[in-house]
Amino acid sequence: MSWPISSNNARLDLLHFSCKAALMNNVVEIPMWMLVAGGLLAAIGILDRLLMPSVRWYLRRRLNRVIDRLNDRLQLSIQPFKLTRRKIMIDRLTHDPKVMDAIMAHAKSENMPQEVVAKIAERYAREIVPAFSAPTYFGFAVRASRFISKSLYRVRLGYIDDEALKNVDPESTVIFVINHRSNMDYILVTSLVAERAALSYAVGEWARVWPLQQLIRAMGGYFIRRKSRNQLYRKVLARYVQLATEGGVTQAIFPEGGLSRDGTLGEPKLGLLSYILGDFDPETSRNIVFVPVGLNYDRVLEDRVLTSVNINDRRKFRFQPGAFLSYVTHQLWLRVRGRFYRNGYACVSFGRPISLTDYMALHPPAKMPEIIESLGSVLMTRIGQVVPVLPVSLISTVLMQADGPLTMEEIKSEAQRIWQDLSARDIYSHIPHSDEDYAVEVGLRMLTLRHVATETGGRFAVNPAQSVIVQYYANAIIQHFKADLLETSVK
């Protein structure tokens, strides 16, 4: 027996009504955690859609006011490029025409899908591009760098051609080129340049550890793989450096590429310099001004680590959080016990700026590789000329040149002769309290307290077991005594 179609529809309607009534009469229970979570998500959604845009606008306006006040105070203002949001900068770098060409070339040579190679390029861009924060840089980093520098050293400003620095065109891109003695270099130079500019450092892979990595990015630093031969990576890095340079970002680079292991100035590594000059056109590009910076320490914190490794050994130095915390704890414990002494003097000198436009005008019609090579050599020479002479370096030089143990009077006599010679050639020496006898005593005390120099019967000599340390400090100023570096003119 079959029901008519109309009867079937009636039965379905009745069944639907019965189920609906049953549901209305039952209580649906929801766990409290789910109710709370739902309420929080709803509140977040309301805040994101209604309140957060106003909060972002308010904070952005306050930040712009802070930056305007900083630019009024700084000699080299913070350029808009440096303030670009990191995500926008990553997209801009990844889609740069030259990077896109490199992506296609890499995809073809490696037989890889172009989309996959584009993702790799984006990963490189995320690794390189910083996330500059003016409050972090000037509110925390500068204050911290000053506190750390002054806690560890007696910080002094050496030679500086202030008039030449003031006359640098503010529309130029200024790049400080620095000799690399210690990882303290970043902190020391930042503390001394803070009144003039916000520096963007090129930092090696050693610093890519938490939380140092995040702090360096917030300070405007960018990370580089110094030994990478990957052409795609090199192109992404080169384009970022070129965009930053064209955008007027004030930078600081270490041409040696790494810490000096024997104390001498190393040969310039031309990678970053070639990136900086890669797109430069004297007619149309923003001018680039290089400022040579020479720094020296009475004690380099890493001296024993550096000198304990063979000079030809290419092993990388890595940041070790455990060793760093152990050192900090030990120093704090010495402070608590009243037995902490600072590590002597740390001094920084600034040389005469070199305008790239003027330099290229003196070398027509040289090709760019030739200009890069000659400029690298000139920059290292200029850096060497402004490295300040400190007590420990001077006394180390006297002891290493001596044929045997010397009395205090003999050391003072030889030190005075060297000071006079250096002064005649306008080479800066830091003499504490303008007292040469006191400077000699300071240098000797630093060396004898560390047992790298010994005193026997009123005579001082190098400890044979520690001669490599004494030579390391003497090498810091050895360039001042080389005949081929006595001329200060740039040819």
Quick one: pLDDT at residue 283? 87
- Tokens found for residue 110: 């490696």
- Give the confidence band of 32 by pLDDT, cuts at 50, 70, 90: confident
Per-residue pLDDT, 331: 67
Indicate whether 306 pLDDT > 50.
yes
Q: Residue 103 is inside which H or E element, if any?
A: helix 97-110
- Contact predicate 195/74, CB 8 Å: yes
List, by residue range, all CATH 1.10.10.2090 domains of the chain: 391-475
The pLDDT value given to residue 327:
65
For domain 87-384, give the CATH superfamily: Glycerol-3-phosphate (1)-acyltransferase (3.40.1130.10)
Say if residues 263 and 475 touch (Cβ distance below 8 Å).
yes
CATH topology of domain 391-475: Arc Repressor Mutant, subunit A (1.10.10)
Q: For 206, how many CA atoms within 13 A lie in the half-sphere containing its CB?
A: 14
Instruction: Give tens-digit pLDDT for 465-478.
Output: 999 999 999 999 99
Q: Are strands 200-203 and 222-223 parallel, antiparallel or unpaired?
A: parallel
Burial class (CB in 10 A: 0-12, 13-18, 19+), 92: middle
Q: Which residue has the higher pLDDT, 191 or 4?
A: 191
* Tens digits of residue pLDDT in 46-72: 766 666 666 555 556 665 676 667 667
Indicate if the pLDDT at residue 432 is higher than 90.
yes
At residue 219, the pLDDT reads 87
- Within 10 Å of residue 461's Cβ, how many Cβ atoms? 15
- Which of 176-185, 324-333, 386-395 shows the lowest per-residue confidence on average (mean pLDDT)? 324-333
% of the chain surpassing 90 pLDDT: 55
- Whether residue 31 has pLDDT greater than 70: yes
Mean pLDDT for the chain overall? 85
Determine the average pLDDT of the residues in 107-129.
94
pLDDT of residue 223: 87
Residue 488 has pLDDT above 50, yes or no: no
> Where exactly does CATH 3.40.1130.10 map onto the chain?
87-384
Helix (H, G, I), strand (E, B) or coil at 418: helix
Task: Note the pLDDT of residue 336.
Answer: 74
Select the more confidently predicted residue: 244 or 204.
Answer: 244
Question: What local confidence, expressed as pLDDT, does residue 346 receive?
Answer: 97
